[in-house]
Amino acid sequence: MKTLANEMREHARKVLLPFWQGLKDEEYGGFYGYMGYDLGLDKEAAKGCILNSRILWFFSNAYLTLRDEKILPYARHAYLFLKEHCLDRENGGVYWSLTYDGKPEDTTKHTYNQAFAIYALSSYYDANKDEEALALAKELFELIETKCKDEYGYLEAFNVRFEPEDNDKLSENGVMAEKTMNTLLHVLEAYTELYRVLDQENGGASGGVEGQEAEGREADGISLKERVARAIRYMLDLVETKVYNREAGRQEVFFDRTWHSLIDLYSYGHDIEASWLIDRALEVLGDSVYTEKISPITRTIVDNIYHRAYADHSLMNEAENGNNDTTRVWWVQAEAVVGFLNGYQKVPEHEEYQKAAEDIWEFIKAYLVDPREGSEWYWSLDQDRHPIEKPIVEPWKCPYHNGRMCFEVIRRFEEAGR
């Protein structure tokens, strides 16, 4: 792992950081929202709030991992744009997108988007100890819990006043989903990060007298930290009972309001990503009962992905009605590296998982990293490993997956050496 970690550190420093630093918008704030396949930068393109949150998360974690003080101003720049433009101060929550100069463009309020803001704000608090950022993360947690749920789980899309509307933004493959595995996974991810940093709010004293007093200030005698923990357990229960298909050993993807699956779809990328994000939630939560009952699910998911989707030194995209989509998508490969490495660390006798992680990283370096000056990664490759002409930057094309791959490998190597 030492070689892998060193290469990831070099890649983050020399490829990812310079590229995304170069997209900083000094005039209107935030970061430019679009670069075409031809590397043409559109400075007047819409700025996706999910993209901005992911950039904030990226720079916060780049600092936490690399400990380079020059990185923090970029995180601060993304944070100020989120605070001053992405947040709707009248109705609450985060908009879907803004114009290039920071005005609301698409005022949809999506649970997925709120979750990524929590994720980013929590990491920024960890990096900068900015209490205002943590307060905003807490506000968004309250908003999701009060406005984005029904009796069956987390809903998806709302208008600017949080009145439900069609979930066209996270529905694909010809269905209109009222609930999705994807949104549930990323709310879980966001709450896990919030729960982790709440320990730091009072100097990590939540287990002592000071922490108990601080937690006791919440309404009804239940601390915010415990409410977040309960929400994490609730989502883990949904994964076990509604999302996970035991017969197929996979997660279902799109659902109606009461969690009936709408399509026979195997999302290889989301499954390998979920395998380690769920394990991270279990690790941070530290609840042995939940670890015992959920951990076997993630072990099965990793094994299935290894045998079903790992081919040609990389991971296929998905399978609908049993038909494989062999496109190699950038984020799927990044998550596969972390997912297989996590699977190996859980069960070291499965050395094939570690070899798969290393193999996919070699594939990424050879084919997905764009060798052109001023670029980053291609979006995807066809079955002949040729780049597909899709944008290098747009609201969904971000430094979150490939940046996180680098940071996770480095973190895991450093923790293994302690």
> Which pLDDT band, with edges at 50, 70 and 90, does 211 fall under?
very low
With contact defined as beta carbons under 8 Å apart, do 231 and 145 qualify? yes
With contact defined as beta carbons under 8 Å apart, do 51 and 33 qualify? yes
> Which pLDDT band, with edges at 50, 70 and 90, does 219 fall under?
low
Under 8 Å CB-to-CB from 158, ≥6 apart: which residues? 108, 109, 110, 111, 147, 148, 164, 165
Count CA within 13 A, CB hemisphere, residue 402. Answer: 30
Q: What is the mean pLDDT of residues 188-213?
A: 69
Mean pLDDT of the chain: 95
Share of the chain above pLDDT 70, in %: 95
pLDDT one-digit tens code per residue, 254-307: 999 999 999 999 999 999 999 999 999 999 999 999 999 999 999 999 999 999
> Which pLDDT band, with edges at 50, 70 and 90, does 215 fall under?
very low
pLDDT one-digit tens code per residue, 64-108: 999 999 999 999 999 999 999 999 999 999 999 999 999 999 999
Structural domain spans, the chain = 2-206+218-416
Q: What is the mean pLDDT of residues 1-8?
A: 94
Q: What is the mean pLDDT of residues 126-149?
A: 97
Instruction: Indicate if the alpha-carbon torsion angle 227, 229, 234, 239 is positive or negative.
Output: positive
This prediction's pTM: 0.95
pLDDT at residue 42 is higher than 50: yes
Share of the chain above pLDDT 90, in %: 93
| CATH architecture label of 2-206+218-416 | Alpha/alpha barrel (1.50)
